Amino acid sequence: MTAPLHPDTVAVHSGRSDLEGLGVHALPIDLSTTNPLPDIERGGDSYEAMATGGRPPADGSMVYARLWNPTVARFEAALAEMEHAEASVAFGSGMAAMTAVILAHTNAVGKRHVVAVRPLYGGTDHLLGSGLLGAEVSYCDPHEVARSIRPDTGLVVLETPANPTLDIADIADIVRQAGEVPVVVDNTFATPVLQNPIDLGAAMSLHSATKYLGGHGDVIAGVVACSEATAEALRRVRAVTGGLLHPLGAYLLHRGLTTLPVRMRQQQENARRIVQWLIDRPEVAEVFYPGLDGDPHGILDRQMRGTGAMIAMRMRGGFAAASTITTATALFTHAVSLGGVDSLIQHPAALTHRPVPPEARPAADVLRLSIGLENADDLIADLAQAFAAAPSIAEPPLSERATPLSDAHTGAVRA
């Protein structure tokens, strides 16, 4: 039996099985909006197959780009392999992907209730709470999922590590609590390099592919890894709502996957360096980063292969300090989004989590950092000069109260 390929190798070669037959080496981009039909009958059969969530018949046609595109399909195959899933379905944005997941598991199957584990990305929290999709939502903590399930519950929504405070939830335990109800895990912060929710029993692993999968801040997309049966339901929603990812975006994402493991390793190493520096700073009241509590419940060891490159911190000077720091950095760009090769800083309560109800909104003194590929010493120096410009309250550094990161949780990304 052939040994399984290392994830680094999978990232480079996945989704390319048809290239040799096409006589090409680099990924091709098919920009066709419409496709020739072999005849009326086979054209009609092809349309019906894809409009209801299926794949193009071997002797048929792709018909129309809203239904199918080969460049998108290659990216989907690649991401599915990296996520250890049967299939994946790509969308024009992460929110389009989450919208399709909610619709396919609520109104489409006659179950309107959703259980959402907080904290969540602000856009997801707002979408669920708005009622726009006709869903009724119960928000809960990770240990309250079982008691929140109802007969009409169609979906459990979870994000781990969570946005923006990096809370870690036990995926396998939440799947156990959910029983027969499918669980979707927003895996954006971890990526398939660090975490595979489907291996832990989740029905779906969702990504804002805009972030780490693309990695260069030049494409907006979403993707859901899942079973083929679930993919059919999601493709049906995508076909009728027009949420297909543009083929140029799919090409950029597929190309981005090849360097994802390498990028994640270096960005994680930079993040670890910065976390160790932050916990010694008197201006910082609290640092949010996986592993700082020593992983007392062993969740990190069970479900992740690293701690990632996202950091949140609470500033002692309150909102005034947080506000000053966002505009005082030079290398950290003050901007939303995350996961690119360059470092970003943002204020979640004022931006990404502004629509979230006050009781679930991050505190006004919290900042979120997305660590890029710059030299870690340069990033630390940039934060130091920004801290110096901000009002602060002199107190002992956090390192006197925090548990240092252990080697088990701060080493290179494990295979």
Q: Per the domain annotation, does 269 fall within a domain?
A: yes
Beta-bridge partners for 367: 313
Q: Which of 186, 295, 365, 382 is catalytic?
A: 186
Q: Please say if the pLDDT value at position 190 is more than 60.
A: yes
Give the span between the Cα atoms of 61 and 55, in whole angstroms.
10
Co-location of 363 and 331 in the same domain: yes
Co-location of 390 and 347 in the same domain: yes
Co-location of 189 and 277 in the same domain: no
Query: What pLDDT, on the 0 to 100 scale, is given for residue 394?
Result: 52
Query: What pLDDT, on the 0 to 100 scale, is given for residue 195?
Result: 98
Beta-bridge partners for 153: 113
Choose one of 257, 284, 303: the last residue of a domain. Answer: 257
Co-location of 234 and 279 in the same domain: no
Average pLDDT of the segment spanning 153-172: 96
Q: Please say if the pLDDT value at position 217 is more than 80.
A: yes
Q: In which residue are the tokens 């059969």 written?
A: 45
SS (H, E, C) 351-394: CCCCCCCHHHCCCCCEEEEECCCCCHHHHHHHHHHHHHCCCCCC
* Lowest-confidence pick of 81-95, 158-172, 346-360: 346-360
Co-location of 107 and 222 in the same domain: yes
Co-location of 251 and 265 in the same domain: no
For residue 20, give the amino acid letter: E
- Indicate the pLDDT class of residue 331, thresholds 50, 70 and 90: very high
Q: Per the domain annotation, does 38 fall within a domain?
A: no
Give the span between the Cα atoms of 202 and 171, in whole angstroms.
7
Give the span between the Cα atoms of 370 and 339, in whole angstroms.
6
Pick from 193, 222, 199, 165: nearest CA to 9: 193
- Indicate the pLDDT class of residue 173, thresholds 50, 70 and 90: very high
Co-location of 283 and 173 in the same domain: no
Query: What pLDDT, on the 0 to 100 scale, is given for residue 351?
Result: 72
Q: If phi over 0 gives left and psi between -120 and 50 gives alpha, with beta otherwise, what is residue 217?
A: left
Per-residue pLDDT of 247-277, as tens digits, reads 999 999 999 999 999 999 999 999 999 999 9
Co-location of 244 and 266 in the same domain: no
Q: Please say if the pLDDT value at position 358 is more than 80.
A: no
What does residue 39 show for φ and ψ, rounded to 5 degrees?
-170, 175
Q: Which of 55, 74, 111, 211 is catalytic?
A: 211
- Cβ–Cβ < 8 Å for 49, 236: no
Q: In which residue are the tokens 């059919």 written?
A: 232
**Global pTM value:** 0.93
Q: Please say if the pLDDT value at position 414 is more than 80.
A: no
Per-residue pLDDT of 297-326, as tens digits, reads 899 999 999 999 999 999 999 999 999 999
Q: Per the domain annotation, does 98 fall within a domain?
A: yes
Give the helix ranges, DSSP H, for 258-317.
260-278, 299-303
Co-location of 224 and 265 in the same domain: no
Q: Per the domain annotation, does 252 fall within a domain?
A: yes
Average pLDDT of the segment spanning 78-86: 98
CATH number of the domain that 113 lies in? 3.40.640.10
Who wins on pLDDT, 71 or 409?
A: 71
CATH number of the domain that 279 lies in? 3.90.1150.10
Query: What pLDDT, on the 0 to 100 scale, is given for residue 354?
Result: 67
Q: Per the domain annotation, does 331 fall within a domain?
A: yes
**Is 111 one of the catalytic residues?**
no
**Is 147 one of the catalytic residues?**
no
| 311-to-57, 70, 161, 195, 220 alpha-carbon distances in Å | 46, 37, 11, 17, 22
Q: Please say if the pLDDT value at position 73 is more than 90.
A: yes
Q: Please say if the pLDDT value at position 22 is more than 70.
A: yes
Burial class (CB in 10 A: 0-12, 13-18, 19+), 220: buried
**Please, what's the largest Cα pairwise distance for the chain?**
77
- Cβ–Cβ < 8 Å for 160, 173: no
What is the number of structural domains in the chain? 2
Sheet holding 87-91, edge to edge: 87-91, 222-226, 204-208, 183-186, 153-159, 113-117, 136-140
Per-residue pLDDT of 25-50, as tens digits, reads 999 999 999 999 999 999 999 999 99
Query: What pLDDT, on the 0 to 100 scale, is given for residue 400?
Result: 55
Q: Which helix (H) or strand (E) holds 101?
A: helix 94-105
| 346-to-39, 68, 242, 289 alpha-carbon distances in Å | 54, 37, 31, 16
Neighbours of 372 (CB within 10 A): 24
What does residue 159 show for φ and ψ, rounded to 5 degrees?
-130, 125
Q: Please say if the pLDDT value at position 398 is more than 70.
A: no
Give me the percent of the chain exceeding a pLDDT of 70. Answer: 93
Per-residue pLDDT of 91-129, as tens digits, reads 999 999 999 999 999 988 999 999 999 999 999 999 999
Q: Per the domain annotation, does 329 fall within a domain?
A: yes
Q: Per the domain annotation, does 211 fall within a domain?
A: yes
Choose one of 225, 257, 289: the last residue of a domain. Answer: 257
- Cβ–Cβ < 8 Å for 148, 138: yes
**DSSP letter string, 197-260:** GGGGT-SEEEEETTTTTT-SS----EEEEE-HHHHHHHHHHHHHHT-BPPHHHHHHHHHHHTTH
Query: What pLDDT, on the 0 to 100 scale, is given for residue 32?
Result: 97
Q: Which of 66, 112, 255, 273 is catalytic?
A: 66
Give the span between the Cα atoms of 12 and 256, in whole angstroms.
9
Query: What pLDDT, on the 0 to 100 scale, is given for residue 353?
Result: 65
Query: What pLDDT, on the 0 to 100 scale, is given for residue 413?
Result: 40
Average pLDDT of the segment spanning 349-365: 75
- Cβ–Cβ < 8 Å for 72, 244: yes
What does residue 370 show for φ and ψ, rounded to 5 degrees?
-110, 115
Q: Which of 16, 47, 118, 121 is catalytic?
A: 121
Q: Please say if the pLDDT value at position 352 is more than 80.
A: no
Burial class (CB in 10 A: 0-12, 13-18, 19+), 144: middle
**What range does the domain containing 219 cover?**
7-32+69-257
Q: Per the domain annotation, does 56 fall within a domain?
A: no
- Indicate the pLDDT class of residue 405, thresholds 50, 70 and 90: low
At residue 139, the 3 state secondary structure works out as: strand
Q: What is the mean pLDDT of the chain?
A: 93
What the block records as the tokens of 244 is: 């297909």
Choose one of 257, 286, 315: the last residue of a domain. Answer: 257
**DSSP letter string, 317-348:** THHHHHHHHHHH-SSSEE-S---SSS-EEE-G
What does residue 66 show for φ and ψ, rounded to 5 degrees?
-65, -20
How many H helices and E strands in the chain?
16, 12
Omega before 119 within 30 of 0, i.e. cis: yes
Co-location of 234 and 319 in the same domain: no
Co-location of 166 and 82 in the same domain: yes
Give the span between the Cα atoms of 103 and 105, in whole angstroms.
6
Co-location of 307 and 207 in the same domain: no
Q: Please say if the pLDDT value at position 409 is more than 60.
A: no
